Structure 1
């Protein structure tokens, strides 16, 4: 009598058996999260998980994290790297995008305005200093524009007496 797989899936020990890419992506994410939970201090893991949850609930893309000084201290470069890695692993759950799990966190370096920039990129991009420099330059230009816009909005608010806490 042949052995029957009662899990409803393929035999993970059989290298000849094709793997379901979605299942592999889910398992990879689950194992990674549990490894992070085991090795990170609880407060850092909790902060990381809050950031991941916020990103997922926002539907991905850009989110702004508001942190008190204690959280800022916990949100180290390592935690930021892990956030980007988790974003890649979550992105790999989307059918047809399983390759995102293989993306790596690349340090983009410091620009004039953007400091300590990192990005999740395919390995081929991470190995290309020119592409990384171009990414940093675009990010730096975007940061400069954001700061300029914020300063202009603050000036408008001041001129119209709309700045909170200011009294004439």
Structure 2
């Protein structure tokens, strides 16, 4: 599925092909909450890194989160003007790109279930709105983005 995205101010637009376009993960870790501004939808779409086409690349900056005292190699790309989170790329998995669902302008398919992860990091004020089919994890689930899409027959 071709995904088209942009930042809030319009300085950056991008296109990328995604085999795993359902926004089903809701992450409650401090990195996702503080860099993406809320209760999830951060790194839950899977796309082909080689298909990325960017306009306005000069407006992009990269953030490397510090996790458990170590700087992560994962690159969180964002607009330097409006701070919109755009995508994450991790050199440990160079073929993958993870667009932030919040930056996607293309209508995304509605997931039949959600995965709530990193609940052990959730502050008390953040409510978990889990549906009857949703799965909840204190840490990371064993199932990957690709496995989740395949199990539900949702690959595009």
Query: Is the pair's TM-score, using the shorter chain for normalization, greater than 0.5?
Result: no
For Structure 1 versus Structure 2, the TM-score category normalised by the shorter chain is under 0.3
In the superposition, the TM-score normalised over structure 2's length comes to: 0.26
Q: Which has the higher helix share?
A: 1
Structure (1 or 2) with the larger CA radius of gyration = 1
Q: Which has the higher strand share?
A: 2
